Amino acid sequence: MKILFWFCLVGTTQVLLAQPAFLGTENVANGFSSPVSVTHAGDGSNRLFVTQQGGQIKVVENGIHLPTPFLDISALISSGGEQGLLGLAFHPNYSNNGYFYVNYTDNNGDTVVARYTVSDADINLANPSSAYIVLTFDQPFGAHNGGDLHFSPNDGYLYISSGDGSGDPMASQDINSLLGKILRIDVDGDDFPADPNKNHAIPPDNPYVGINGADEIWVSGLRNPWRFSFDRLNGDLFIGDVGEDTWEEFNHVPATSSGGENFGWPCFEGADASGLSGCDPNGPNELPFAALQHNQPNSNYCTAVGGYRYRGSEFSGLYGWYLFTDWCDGTYFVARPLGMAWEIHDMGTLIGGFAVTGMGEDENGELYAVAWSALMKITGPTEMDDVIFIDGFE
Ligand SMILES: [Ca+2]
Ligand SMILES: [Ca+2]
Ligand SMILES: [Ca+2]
């Protein structure tokens, strides 16, 4: 079990210390509508692709926000609230096959993971008729859809976050439900040739292969894992899990894991047992390495936004730190392992204080955030010696 730094922000400390110029932002492009994620294609172009909740993927090329969407599937989706186009990931071999993957809620409100292909004629236009369903599953209600997608740099499999569906939260503990999980699939095969709505293979080392439990599941016990990421260098998995009444969680699955971790929801929120019927107060409950507590002085935590471990080169003072934030509060934090525990620091508030919906990387590992209608680059210290933590710890 990990030792935690339960991080309860002491607001007076934050207010009294001067704000150092440690983390900052540079505006990259504007004019987005409800952006939820930003990523790159890994094709050497260093374009950025911004996913809009309403169903469009927008391209930023050489700092220019192109007016024509890369893809517009707004007619296929339910949007608004927590529904919409929620995630985008490019195939690791995109340069050769032109495949990319989206996660959206369809007109019935159900989750669809689909593959599309870039057009032959224009690298900034996808082929809208190339849709190929990879996986679908029912969503009982509108909220808690998860929706993020990433390929692991280690195994090349596609990982998909799903929320508990906001119906029966015990779905997160049901190993035969795909809700409240991180799923792990192989998009380069089809183990279900008779099923046109299930066009993927199952990695043979997934934890429930050959035993009771859905074969797609990698880890369970999540409430609404809205944004997650991989460490591009070593494959560590970081999951921001949106809490209910008390704790916003940031969870870690080391690259050496063989899957099957249970992060506790709804039997636990953070380390707190819920006492729900059907729950064992002794767990299992894999604890978060960081958690932000609701209703504390001078803070307003409400929605965990998982970030990235910085592996870029421009701001070497950030190298190896995992950056994360909260949608309501806007304070940024950095974390890194310290022996068996984690060292966590408050980095102050960026970008007007709130509404950062997602972060992402470019091809070089530089970090970006989307908030309101803007795409911003996150800047930091270029020397480790310049690092100053406003919480006063060193
Ligand atoms: Ca099939
Ligand atoms: Ca099974
Ligand atoms: Ca948990």
Smallest-distance ligand from the CA of 223: 3
Give 383 or 363, the one with higher predicted confidence: 363
Smallest-distance ligand from the CA of 190: 1
Spatial separation of the C-alpha atoms in residues 330 and 349, rounded to whole Å: 5
Å from CA of 390 to ligand 3 middle: 27
Spatial separation of the C-alpha atoms in residues 94 and 100, rounded to whole Å: 7
Smallest-distance ligand from the CA of 222: 3
Joined together, the tokens standing for residue 387 give 């690092």
Å from CA of 217 to ligand 2 middle: 9
Spatial separation of the C-alpha atoms in residues 54 and 51, rounded to whole Å: 9
Å from CA of 189 to ligand 1 middle: 9
> pTM here?
0.93
Say if CB 160 and CB 262 are below 8 A apart.
Answer: no
Å from CA of 113 to ligand 1 middle: 13
Tracing tokens 């249970």 back to the chain, one arrives at: 262
What pLDDT is attached to residue 351? 58
Asked whether residue 16 carries a pLDDT value surpassing 90, the answer given is no
List the alpha helices (DSSP H) in the chain. 11-16, 94-97
Partners of 370 in beta bridges: 358, 375
Smallest-distance ligand from the CA of 175: 2
Å from CA of 222 to ligand 3 middle: 6
What pLDDT is attached to residue 355? 81
User: Rounded to the nearest 10 degrees, how much is the dihedral formed by the CA atoms of 266, 268, 274, 276?
Assistant: 40
What pLDDT is attached to residue 20? 47
Residues 6+ apart with CB under 8 A from 100: 41, 88, 89, 90, 91, 94, 115, 116, 117, 118, 126
Spatial separation of the C-alpha atoms in residues 332 and 5, rounded to whole Å: 16
List the Cα angle 65/159/274 in 5-degree steps: 110
Asked whether residue 386 carries a pLDDT value surpassing 70, the answer given is no
Tracing tokens 């204080």 back to the chain, one arrives at: 353
Spatial separation of the C-alpha atoms in residues 161 and 9, rounded to whole Å: 28
Tracing tokens 């969407």 back to the chain, one arrives at: 69
Å from CA of 243 to ligand 3 middle: 8
Asked whether residue 4 carries a pLDDT value surpassing 80, the answer given is no
Task: For 42-84, write each residue's pLDDT tens digit.
Answer: 999 999 999 999 999 999 999 999 999 999 999 999 988 899 9
Å from CA of 346 to ligand 2 middle: 42
Å from CA of 172 to ligand 3 middle: 11
Helices (H) and strands (E) in the chain, counts: 2, 27
Å from CA of 185 to ligand 2 middle: 13
Å from CA of 128 to ligand 3 middle: 38
Say if CB 371 and CB 356 are below 8 A apart.
Answer: yes
Query: What's at 44, amino acid-wise?
Result: G
Residues within 5 A (CB) of ion ligand 3: 249, 263-264
What pLDDT is attached to residue 110? 96
Task: For 241-290, write each residue's pLDDT tens digit.
Answer: 999 999 999 999 999 999 999 999 999 999 999 999 999 999 999 999 99
Asked whether residue 295 carries a pLDDT value surpassing 60, the answer given is yes
What mean pLDDT comes out for the span 23-38? 94
Å from CA of 302 to ligand 3 middle: 15
What pLDDT is attached to residue 384? 61
Task: For 170-179, write each residue's pLDDT tens digit.
Answer: 999 999 999 9
Smallest-distance ligand from the CA of 197: 1
The 3-state DSSP class for residue 245 equals coil
Per-residue pLDDT band at 348 (split at 50, 70, 90):
confident
What pLDDT is attached to residue 1? 26
Asked whether residue 312 carries a pLDDT value surpassing 50, the answer given is yes
Å from CA of 287 to ligand 3 middle: 6
Which one-letter DSSP state was computed for residue 193? T
Å from CA of 136 to ligand 3 middle: 25
Asked whether residue 358 carries a pLDDT value surpassing 50, the answer given is yes
Label residue 91 exposed, middle or buried (CB < 10 Å: 0-12, 13-18, 19+): buried
Task: For 87-119, write each residue's pLDDT tens digit.
Answer: 999 999 999 999 999 999 999 999 999 999 999
Helix (H) or strand (E) holding 77: none
Percent of the chain at pLDDT > 70 equals: 91
User: Rounded to the nearest 10 degrees, how much is the dihedral formed by the CA atoms of 269, 272, 278, 280?
Assistant: 130
Tracing tokens 């089809």 back to the chain, one arrives at: 190
**β-strand 181-185 against 158-162: which pairing, if any?**
antiparallel
Task: For 130-176, write each residue's pLDDT tens digit.
Answer: 999 999 999 999 999 999 999 999 999 999 999 999 889 999 999 99
Give 10 or 224, the one with higher predicted confidence: 224
What pLDDT is attached to residue 11? 29
CATH architecture of residue range(s) 11-33+142-386: 6 Propeller (2.120)
Å from CA of 129 to ligand 3 middle: 40
Joined together, the tokens standing for residue 113 give 């993971």
Domain ranges of the chain: 11-33+142-386
Smallest-distance ligand from the CA of 215: 2
Looking at every residue in the chain, the average pLDDT score rounds to 91
Spatial separation of the C-alpha atoms in residues 73 and 51, rounded to whole Å: 11
